[in-house]
Structure 1
């Protein structure tokens, strides 16, 4: 279980997060929705200790707040960053291998790679292709696959559907559900609130750095405030 308590993040004196409290239960999909600039990405970056912060973050009861990012990764927390951030000059296979850089069991690494190729057959077809020449959807698949090579305990995804065509968005959310079905804990940051809430076990709504709502995905899907602000439905 990942627990966030009283999390504060500021950039140049401007507060990005104000006292955020969240719990990500094992084997659940937890989603964080909100408008641009609400602090969603800052939450993920704070968990990975990529930004200065105040507050406490624990994993399975152990305080990881001050740990180096490398050590957080070694504990099995992986981030699929916004914008994919694939290594453009490396091949698909090389990108995936880099995702397993903290692992040493070659047989287990190969097994995970084969699992990724089953999830993303298109990546197997483009094994030797440079990542920078892939389509946006293929790069997103590669970014997810690279994070999965860690075999993470918690897989965090930052806007995985951003910029994708509607058919690919549908595919990405189907893959997220399959990854979860395989026993993964997922923390999902998404602007596509409807899709995110439909697959979420639990969800939080972030507005200007503060949590304003929380509940099951099903509960928030029918909440009047969520419907009006994020689902394009009038009150």
Structure 2
């Protein structure tokens, strides 16, 4: 389980996270929704060590992550698919996937996991020798998720996976998130598409200007009038 308690982050004089607490139980899909600038990406980046916390605690399976190096955090079984995909454009699909396994030494198992990623994303196998920069936005998102899976994570964090994608592609991405979870990976999802995110979430939190204002099951928040008005449009 991932357990965050009273997490605080400052960027200079601005407080981005104001003492948030949340839990991500093993085997679940947990989503964090909120407007732009609410602190969602900052939360993920602090968990992975990319952003330094100014207070609080981030515990993963009982061990404190704050203060650990990024590679140590990844080696505990946490991976992130970042916002904006950030694939390596001048490398092939296969090379991008192999970079995701850079901390691993088990070559035979890495080959098995490449085939696992291809089973989730058949299009990546079709384009394995294509340069990542020539892929469509949806294909690059699939590659970013596949690359994160190559570290064989127990916890997969996804930052805005639907951003800028066509509705049909978004449905594909969310179906794959469900499938990854079914295969035993815990998921922490940050997403502006609140409707899609809440539909697949076991648990959900609403983040507003660095503070968690609501929490509950995905279906509870989908039905809540305040969430409907703020994030889903009144007609939802």
- 1:168-192 deviations in Å (ceiling 9; x for gaps): 0010000100000101100000000
- 1:65 to partner: Cα distance: 1.0
Cα distance in 2 between the residues matched to 1:23 and 1:99 = 26
Which residue pairs with 1:110 in the alignment? Answer: 111
Which residue pairs with 1:218 in the alignment? Answer: 219
Specify the SS of the correspondent of 1:9.
strand
- 1:52 to partner: Cα distance: 1.8
5+ unaligned residues in a row in structure 2: which ranges? Answer: none
Structure 1 segments of 4+ aligned residues over 6 angstroms from their partners: none
Specify the SS of the correspondent of 1:22.
strand
Which residue pairs with 1:206 in the alignment? Answer: 207
- 1:154-181 deviations in Å (ceiling 9; x for gaps): 0000000000001000100001000001
Aligned length: 235
- 1:234 to partner: Cα distance: 6.1
Which residue pairs with 1:66 in the alignment? Answer: 67
Specify the SS of the correspondent of 2:67.
coil
After TM superposition, the score normalised by the length of structure 1 is 0.98
Cα distance in 2 between the residues matched to 1:21 and 1:204 = 10
Cα distance in 2 between the residues matched to 1:124 and 1:62 = 37
Cα distance in 2 between the residues matched to 1:49 and 1:20 = 17
| 1:77-96 → structure 2 map (5 Å cutoff) | 77-96=78-97
Note if 1:7 corresponds to 2:7: yes
| 1:33-44 → structure 2 map (5 Å cutoff) | 33-44=33-44
Cα distance in 2 between the residues matched to 1:119 and 1:57 = 30
- 1:122-171 deviations in Å (ceiling 9; x for gaps): 10011111101110000000000000001101000000000000100010
Which residue pairs with 1:25 in the alignment? Answer: 25
RMSD between superposed Cα atoms in Å: 1.0
5+ unaligned residues in a row in structure 1: which ranges? Answer: none
After TM superposition, the score normalised by the length of structure 2 is 0.98
Which residue pairs with 2:188 in the alignment? Answer: 187
Cα distance in 2 between the residues matched to 1:49 and 1:22 = 17
Cα distance in 1 between the residues matched to 2:233 and 2:58 = 34
Cα distance in 2 between the residues matched to 1:74 and 1:186 = 17
Which residue pairs with 1:52 in the alignment? Answer: 52
| 1:97-176 → structure 2 map (5 Å cutoff) | 97-176=98-177
Cα distance in 2 between the residues matched to 1:170 and 1:64 = 33
Cα distance in 1 between the residues matched to 2:167 and 2:23 = 31
